[in-house]
Amino acid sequence: MPPELLTAFAFNLGLRTLPIALFAAVGRHSRRRSYRVALPALSLALLATAGAISGTTAELGATMAIACLYFLGASLVAHGLRGRRVREALPAPVILGLCLSLFLVLPAWVFKRSVLVPVVVVGFDYALSAYSYVVTKPEQERTWHTSLFFVLVDPVVAYRKRSVAIQRNSPRPGLARCFGGLLSLLAAELLLHIIPPTIPSETFGSNLFANYPLADYLLLDYLGFLIGVCPWLALHYLGVAGAASLQIGLLGLLGFQVAERFQRPYLASDPADFWQRYNRYVTDWLKYHVFAPVAGSRLIRSAGGGQGSAWWAGVSAAFGLNGLLHVLCAGLLFGRLDIRPLVAFLAYALVLLAADLFKRLAPSPRKGVVPQTAASLATFHVVVAFGGYLLPAMGGL
């Protein structure tokens, strides 16, 4: 089984938690002085544990620290773009391109392939957060320190434009979330040792799922496809959900109430509900910065389209941009153009549009256990097909 996957999770965790530990050590965002020492120590302990589990070496740890310093510097540059003249002079796509170049393209060029996966994964979030921070009109002038905080520590703030209130709460919920996140990483390693050996493991990227192409899913080996794909989907979810829990737990210890990133997506009742539960940070970013501007644009209104047409245009634009962003990430990871992420997200958008059309034309379904179970099973198959087609292009991430 590929140990690089768990090492990437540990490195990903470090790039997300070290900035939090840094701000805790500075103490500017904490009313409890004890957190200035306790939270950085806890962060280092969690990193050491995750590193021991994944086999992360001292060299990788040093590279992680350098990557954190790079992102700190990139956030300072983003702070310089926040001026009013820049926002008014540059259109939004140009600003997004600058943020992607700063947090994705340049790090992929600077850092070597052994750490490229977590750098690109974390840089993806940081780029979106930096864009939100640059284009959002500030209620008050913010210093470079608050810019670093919003971009690197709590991207939900920049996504949702909400104020942050520091609360005096018990440390138990935060510690429980940290412990739960660590258990998720442990479960990911355990799953690595029980994944069926039929999936190729000689490489961590391009050959993943090679035995289960889309044609087999559609025509021949449906059960084999499920057996081969579902463990990898579970492994992916345990990794990203574990890192998110650790980040939320550490912020909770500082008193910040952070929105959930993953809200039990495996309980989704329909394809649209899945995206209300899975990676809500990116979903909210797409809603605010892509869906809403497109659905409410003058072009849509002048075309005479109703609310349904505006919704369709917004969904298509949001999923299309998400697919292009994943194409960019895949290109940076593997050095080749792969349009499968774009195809996967556009296909999922078509599923949402078809479901919306069905709801408009079909009579209201009866409520009950059987219809709800059928809808959940249909959603499960849609998500598995989507993940089984997308994850190979993304190297299993």
207 pLDDT above the threshold of 50: no
Q: Pick the range with the lowest mean pLDDT from 71-85, 167-181, 271-285.
A: 167-181
* pLDDT of 156: 63
Tokens 């510690």 belong to 175
| pLDDT on residue 317 | 92
Confidence at residue 106, expressed as pLDDT on a 0 to 100 scale: 92
| pLDDT tens-digit readout, 340-383 | 889 999 999 999 888 878 777 766 655 655 567 777 888 888 88
Quote the CA–CA distance of 152 and 18 in Å, as a whole number: 10
Instruction: Give pLDDT, residue 349.
Output: 92
Burial tier of 175 (Cβ tally within 10 Å: 0-12, 13-18, 19+):
middle
pLDDT for 201:
38
pLDDT at site 209: 44
Both tokens assigned to 360: 């408009």
Nearest-angstrom CA–CA distance, 164 and 113: 37
Look up tokens 């050491």; give the residue. Answer: 48
Residue 139 is predicted with a pLDDT of: 58
Domain ranges of the chain: 4-172, 176-390
Report for 43-57, 168-182, 221-235, 315-329: range of highest mean pLDDT: 315-329
Q: Which of 47-56, 65-74, 107-116, 253-262 has the lowest mean pLDDT?
A: 47-56
Residue 362: its pLDDT value, please? 66
Q: What is the band of 50 on the pLDDT scale with cuts at 50, 70, 90?
A: low
pLDDT at 84: 67
Structure tokens belonging to residue 248 = 């939320």
Least trusted range by pLDDT, from 150-159, 206-215, 372-381, 383-392: 206-215
- CB within 8 A of 369, min separation 6: which ones? none
Among 35-44, 77-86, 206-215, top mean pLDDT goes to 77-86
CB-based contacts of 156: which residues, under 8 Å, 6+ apart?
A: 162, 258, 259, 281, 284
Q: How many CB atoms lie within 10 A of CB 151?
A: 31
pLDDT of amino acid 203: 35
pLDDT tens digits along 58-115: 667 677 778 888 888 888 888 888 776 776 778 888 889 999 999 999 988 888 776 7
Task: Give the whole-number percent of the chain exceeding pLDDT 90.
Answer: 10
Q: Indicate the pLDDT class of residue 305, thresholds 50, 70 and 90.
A: low
